[in-house]
Amino acid sequence: MNLFSTNIAYASVDSFITKMNAEIINPLIIFLFALALVYFLYGALEFFMNQENEEKRTASKKHMLWGIVGLTIMMGVWAILGMIISTFNIKEIDPKEGKVTLPNP
């Protein structure tokens, strides 16, 4: 053990993108997508359960609208992430191994 030398941790950009994609972005997108879907379904259920009350129907329409907005945003994020991966020409991402396969130049 050498106390006077500097230990340097080397990491490549590819491994950072892979880890960030696998550990943070994908689970977050899936969670928010599910949350928006549940919010939309809650609004739809509330709409059908309260047919006679106009105020509650209006509130449930807003819930459904914001659920659709959330779903649209999450699909857009997923599409942007796909464009980033295709821009860098990443062929394969293996989150378990922490490897990104790039094409040979």
User: Which sequence spans correspond to the domains of the chain?
Assistant: 13-90
State the CB neighbour count (10 A cutoff) for residue 79. 10
Report the pLDDT value the prediction gives residue 53, as an integer from 0 to 100.
92
Report the pLDDT value the prediction gives residue 6, as an integer from 0 to 100.
59
Report the pLDDT value the prediction gives residue 27, as an integer from 0 to 100.
84
Report the pLDDT value the prediction gives residue 37, as an integer from 0 to 100.
94
First to last CA, the chain: 40
Is this structure's pTM higher than 0.85? Answer: no
104's enclosing H/E stretch is none
Report the pLDDT value the prediction gives residue 62, as an integer from 0 to 100.
95
Spans in the chain with pLDDT lower than 70: 1-15, 17-18, 21, 90-105
Report the pLDDT value the prediction gives residue 32, as an integer from 0 to 100.
87
Give the Cα separation of 86 and 81 in Å (integer): 9
Residue partners of 71: CB distance under 8 A and separation at least 6: 33, 36, 37, 40
Report the pLDDT value the prediction gives residue 65, as an integer from 0 to 100.
96
Report the pLDDT value the prediction gives residue 54, as an integer from 0 to 100.
92
